Structure 1
Amino acid sequence: MRFATAIVAAAAAAIASAQVVFPFAPEGPCVAACTNEAGKSLYPFYNDVNPNSPFFFPSLAYTYERGSKNAIAFMTKAGTCMTNCPMDEQNAYRASYYPKLTWYNNNKPSAAPARRR
């Protein structure tokens, strides 16, 4: 019984210390400023730079939950701002959007399981 308890404790510690790795470089300071400004205007805890923040996935949802009211508002604000950014940053943002979307969909926390009746 002690061995099983130790195994469970070790597994729990490993899970708790697991770090999320977001394998994408920033597109540039102008684009980062635009996404941060748009995000904070809609969600005060917006944080799309620290993948281990409890606000990281809720923040990414503003970009990647396509078609939602929040995503439309975010993309409108961020996109309007980005028109003033250097073209290389805009192109980098466009090029990284779909790989980031795929990563987000594969890594976002799943919804809570449905309750049994």
Structure 2
Amino acid sequence: MPSITTSSAVLLLSYFAASAVAANCNPSFDVAAGSDCITKCRQEAGVAMDKSFTLDPSSSSFISSLANECEKGTPSYTSYMTQSGMCMMKCSESEQADYGSREHADVCTWYSAHKSDSCSDASGGASSPSTSGSASSGSSGSDASSTASGDSAQQTIEESAANNVKLGGFVVSVAAAGIAALLF
């Protein structure tokens, strides 16, 4: 009888250990979520393109979902940003500004640094640079990685600001067209 209890306990502990790993797939994601309106638009646009789309960092589909939002120049990026942007036009101006100037840049900066990660790496694998060899070589690799990441972050921020200006111009154009339609 004790062996059944022991094996049951081991099985139960294994289940909880596996659940804990699965429940924390991207533990380094620390970008503060935007408003409910913006989040709803992002989620709806993503699910319309891919049923496995999620904004839940603990999901194994999270990183691939962010590709829609952050891999510029792809058909999925264009479609996602068009669909989510049309929906975001219903959100307040301050919510749109927060997404354009902060949330999108922060999400894509994190994505850029972690897009090669997998859930099996969540305990520290791919997101950590290899430190084999001397301490100084590990340090210089980290510095180079940090510089590249900083450059990428700056580029993402600049592109986000440019997109925000384009979106603002689009809003003005749509508003002007709407006013013209009402007047004539």
- Give me the TM-score of the superposition, normalised by structure 2: 0.48
Q: How far does residue 52 in structure 1 lie from its aligned partner after superposition?
A: 2.2
Name 1:81's counterpart in structure 2.
Answer: 87
Name 1:39's counterpart in structure 2.
Answer: 46
CA offset digits 1:43-100 (Å, max 9, x no partner): 001101x212111011100000111100100000000110110111111101222222
User: What does residue range 1-117 of structure 1 map to in structure 2 within 5 Å?
Assistant: 17=21, 19-20=25-26, 21-48=28-55, 50-96=56-102, 97-109=104-116
More contact order relative to length (CA 8 Å, sep ≥ 6): 1
How many residues in Structure 1 have an aligned counterpart in Structure 2? 96
Unaligned runs of 5+ in 1: 1-12, 111-117
Code of the residue aligned with 2:71 in structure 1: it is E
Unaligned runs of 5+ in 2: 1-16, 118-184
Q: Which moved more, 1:16-25 or 1:65-74?
A: 16-25
Matched residues in 2 for 1:19 and 1:53: separation? 6
- Residue 54 of structure 2 contacts residue 65 of structure 2 at CA under 8 Å; is this kept in 1? yes
Q: CA-atom RMSD, angstroms?
A: 2.0
- Give me the TM-score of the superposition, normalised by structure 1: 0.74
- Residue 25 of structure 2 contacts residue 59 of structure 2 at CA under 8 Å; is this kept in 1? no
Matched residues in 2 for 1:98 and 1:29: separation? 18
Percent identity between the aligned chains?
A: 32
Code of the residue aligned with 1:89 in structure 2: it is E
